[in-house]
Chain A
Amino acid sequence: MNLPQNKIPVYVTNGTCVSPMGFNLIDNIEGIKKGHIAISEITDENLQNESFYGAVINKELLNKAFSQLTYKGDFSTLEKMMLLAVDQIAIEYKAQMNDKCGIIISSTKGNINALSTENNEAYFLHHLAKKVSNAIGIESEPIVLSNACVSGIMAVSIAKRLIQTEAYNHFIVVGGDLFSKFVFTGFQSFQAISSQPCKPYDKSRDGITLGEASAAIFVTKDLNLIKSNSFYEVIGESSINDANHISGPSRTGEGLFQSIKNAVKESKIEVSSIDCISSHGTATNFNDEMEAQAFNRMKLEKTPVFSLKACFGHTLGAAGLLETVISLAFADQNLIPPSFGYNEHGVTLPLNINSEAIEKEVKIVLKTASGFGGSNTAVIFKKCTSDEK
């Protein structure tokens, strides 16, 4: 394919997140640096008799933090999580809200606890999206992306595309999903729930740990608007379906490989200039092995790879965005986050994984994600300096 000339550069900035480790970015970053994780042992007889592992937000603390904000009305747990994440962005970029500013909400199941046979309005994802977008004062129709576990990062690429084709000037992207019985029981029937805090790429890995979180980021082409010293250009992105199986990933990692290949081509960079990879790493046998295949096919086996799911659990529709926000915040400090839970190499091909943070100059970050339905997304971020403003 010929790449079009003079593509408008698009930037991301002001990433934030809400997780069991904290309701702002700094608390989450500092927590990871201290070796803390959001996953804990949970006892909930509604789910099962034995205790299990999950990353669940303290709802009392959430409600307390939310009550400090100025939003009026009733909001569900997930809506509160999303508003807590997006609040600062909404304040800082208030003037842009009506300047062809779109909003993308990324979620797989939304207010899933509102699901009932009486067609409860709150279940519908557009309802959730409207509550959030109305609360922060965005006029344009909210876009909901519900594309399995790639949603959070795919949403960033969609925002970039719509800005590059001048349909919009800016985007607010918010991602979020809950820890729910609905999802937990489903993964149990897949025998995919780990008996321990999940261990991506490790020999003893035995499945996923579910988590809940929200995250938000601002996407724009206007450098003059960016107030923060931390911003990254989205230099390449692609989402290619495996076209293989609806729940199992391709054994050769075909879709992920193609996605990364396309993203690299668009970025016009050498593969070797990628400083680190924030991978999907769910800690299932198949997923981690598939990623090893794809990364090796792309000659990325020496590039430091880390999975943040060992810290936050699998946060579904929030994952891609949460993990991007965390990765870029670490990159700001020229650090590569640790890949917790990794002790013994457990995939058949080599990968460069470290269970401790690495000090390294980080300019280019590759974020990947994969999901049910054969979806894969790869996005490449390039660190920008204030001189570029």
Chain B
Amino acid sequence: MEELKKELKEKIIEALNLEDMSVEDIKDTDILFEDGLGLDSIDALELIIILDKDYGIKLTDSKDGKKIFQSIETMAQYITDNRTK
């Protein structure tokens, strides 16, 4: 799972244009949205696309996203349990 977490951090930095941020700057348990990394609703949709494109998971209800995208930790767990790619 460590490899997956690193991969996720890299993808998030690239896809969400988090310039000046490196993989080391994002802790596994950091809150991604609002007060944490400050991601917003469009970023949430972008993460849904990543889930589909890179891991074959289709999330049709963006409300489920809240729990799944809480942190790198929760994302990695969900992907490990549900990935088809």
Chain A residues with CB under 8 Å of chain B are 189-191, 245, 247-248
Contact = CB atoms under 8 A, between A and B. Distances in A.
B41 A248 contact: yes
A58 B7 CA distance: 48
A248 B60 CA distance: 19
- Dominant SS at the B interface? helix
A189 B60 contact: no
Contact of B62 (A191, A245, A247, A248): A191
A189 B62 contact: no
B70 to A, nearest CB: 19
A189 B49 contact: yes
Main SS of chain A's interface residues?
loop
12 contacts: A189-B45, A189-B49, A190-B45, A191-B45, A191-B48, A191-B60, A191-B62, A245-B40, A245-B41, A247-B41, A247-B42, A248-B41
B54 to A, nearest CB: 15
Contacts of B45: 189-191
Contacts of A190: 45
B48 to A, nearest CB: 7
A246 to B, nearest CB: 8
Interface in B38-80: 40-42, 45, 48-49, 60, 62
A158 B48 CA distance: 40
B15 to A, nearest CB: 12
A189 B42 CA distance: 10
A247 B40 CA distance: 11
A248 B42 CA distance: 9
Nearest to A247: B42
Contacts of B40: 245
A90 B40 CA distance: 47
Contacts of A248: 41
B80 to A, nearest CB: 24
A193 to B, nearest CB: 12
Contacts of B41: 245, 247-248
Contacts of A247: 41-42
B53 to A, nearest CB: 11
Contacts of A245: 40-41
Nearest to B40: A245
Contacts of A191: 45, 48, 60, 62
A191 B45 CA distance: 8
B28 to A, nearest CB: 27
A191 B48 CA distance: 10
B40 to A, nearest CB: 8
Contacts of A189: 45, 49
A182 to B, nearest CB: 17
A247 B41 CA distance: 9
A248 B45 CA distance: 13
A191 B62 CA distance: 8
